[in-house]
Amino acid sequence: MKKIIIYGGKKLHGNINVSGSKNSSLAILASSILFEKKVVLKNVPIVEDIKTMIKLLIYLGKNIKIKRNIIEITNSKKFGKSFIAPYDLVKTMRAGILVLGPLISKFKKAKVSLPGGCAIGARPIDLHLKFLQSIGVKTYIDKGYVISKLNNIKKKNIYRFKKISVGATVNSILASCLISNKIILSNIAIEPEIIDLIKFLKKAGLKIKFLGKRKIEIQGKKNLNQISYDIMPDRIEAGTYMIASAVTNSKLTIKKLNINHVQNTINYLLKANIKVKKINKNSVQIIPGKIKSVSFKTSPYPGFASDMQAQFMSLMNFANGTSKIKEEIFENRFLHVSELNRMGADISIMKNVATIKGIQKLKAAEVMATDLRASVSLVLAGLATRGKTVINRIYHLERGYENLVYKLKNCGAKIKKINV
C-alpha cells in the first residue's frame, strides 16, 4: 500500500505545468475503437485510469505504443474479434463504460461490465442505455454486464436527455459516429472535455454541428480519417494547483492551462480574496491574500465543477467566516469531510449542504483518502498545516493526477510517497 507523507506549513514557489486532461483523454481513447487507421494522441497524462483504458484497448485488439505523453494506436489482427470489456479491466474506473458506445457503433454489439471508480454516488447508466434503446439497440443486464445488440437502426432519431450527463453525452456521441443516419442530441453536457472530443472527431472527418447551446447534429460516416491530436489541458488539475498556492499563502505560476476552462474557479478565487494575474493566454500567477468565506453550489459546466468542490472546501477551512457548499451533482461527495474534521476542521453536513466554519489552522493527522478529488483535498490541507500529515490509500490520487508529488516537491513542498 502506498502513502503520502507531508510536512506542511511551508511556502511554495516557482512554476507548475498542467498536464493533459485525464477525462478528455479517456473519452478520446475510447473513441479509437471506431478507427481502422492510426490515431496519435499527444499530451496524454500517464495516470492509472489512462493505463487501465490502454489495457482495455489492448484486450479489444489495439496495438498501443507509448512514448512519454504520446500514444500511438493501431489495429492488431485480433481487433474486431472481441466485444467484451471485462470486469477485471473496468472495476477501478468509471470511464470503462465509455467503450460501450463505440463498440455498438463499430461492431453493432457489446458486452461491457458495469463500471467502478470512486465511491461518490450511484451514478447509474440508465441515461446511456435509454439513448441506445432510442436508436434501436436492445440492451439488458446480466451478471453485472451490459449486453447490447443493434439490429435495425431507426431512420430518424431526435433524442433529448432528461438530465445533463457527461458520461451519457460521450457514449451517445460515440455510438452515433459510424451510423449512417442523422442523429440529433439535445440537453447534452458541454464540459470542455466534451468539446475536445467533438473537435477530435471533427478533425477525423465526422460531421458534427451545434444547433444550439446544448444541441448537436451528428451525421455518421463509414470510416474516420487517420489523425494526430493534442489533448486539452486538465482544468481540474489547474484549479487544484491554484488552490495549493492560495491555501499555502504562496505565489505560484500555473502554466500550460486554458484560462477559459478555469474561469469559474478563477471567479470564486477572486471572491475569496485570492488574486489571479494573467501572464499570457496559457499562464496565470496566483497572488494570495487573507482568505474570505465564499458559498456556492456545484452544477454542470459552465457552473462550479463538482470535481473542484473538495479542493475548494479545503481552502474554506482557512477562511475568515462561514461558508456553505451545496453539492448538486453527486449524492455522496462529502466523504472527505470526516477526514478534514480529523485534522481539526469544523464542517457539518445537512443533506447535500456542507457548512464550513473557517478556523484558519488545522492540525496534522493520519487520514484516509476515499475518492480521487477527496484525496487531493487532503493533500491541500496537509500542505497548509504544520506537522506531519499521512494520507493513506492514495491509489485514487494516482488515478487522476500526473506526477503530483514531483510537481509539488519541485515547488518547495516537503512531500514524499512511500510503499508500506
The CATH number assigned to the domain with range 2-19+233-419 reads: 3.65.10.10
Same fold? 2-19+233-419, 22-230 = yes
Q: Which of 245, 235, 359, 360 has its CA nearest to residue 306?
A: 235
Hey, what CATH class is 22-230 in?
alpha beta
pLDDT for 92 equals: 75
Q: How many CB atoms lie within 10 A of CB 202?
A: 12
pLDDT for 89 equals: 87
Q: Between residues 351 and 413, which one has the greater pLDDT?
A: 413
Catalytic, out of 28, 34, 60, 118: 118
Q: Which residues contact 84 (CB under 8 A, 6 or more apart)?
A: 110, 111, 112
Q: Are 399 and 93 in contact (CB under 8 A)?
A: yes
pLDDT (mean) for 133-141: 90
Residue 299 CA to residue 160 CA, distance in Å, equals 19
The string of pLDDT tens digits covering residues 270-301 is 999 999 999 999 999 999 999 999 999 999 99
pTM: 0.95
Lowest mean pLDDT among 124-133, 266-275, 294-303, 331-340: 331-340
Q: Between residues 361 and 65, which one has the greater pLDDT?
A: 65
Domain boundaries, the chain: 2-19+233-419, 22-230
pLDDT for 332 equals: 65
pLDDT (mean) for 332-336: 80
SS3 content of the chain, % helix, strand, coil (to 5): 35, 30, 35
Percent of the chain with pLDDT over 90: 82
pLDDT beyond 80 at 333? no
Residue 145, classed as helix, strand or coil, is strand
pLDDT beyond 60 at 121? no
pLDDT beyond 80 at 405? yes
What single DSSP character describes residue 298? B
pLDDT for 125 equals: 84
Percent of the chain with pLDDT over 70: 97
Residue 179 CA to residue 261 CA, distance in Å, equals 31
Asked about 118 being catalytic, the answer comes back as yes
pLDDT beyond 90 at 94? no
Q: Which of 38, 417, 20, 418 has its CA nearest to residue 226?
A: 38
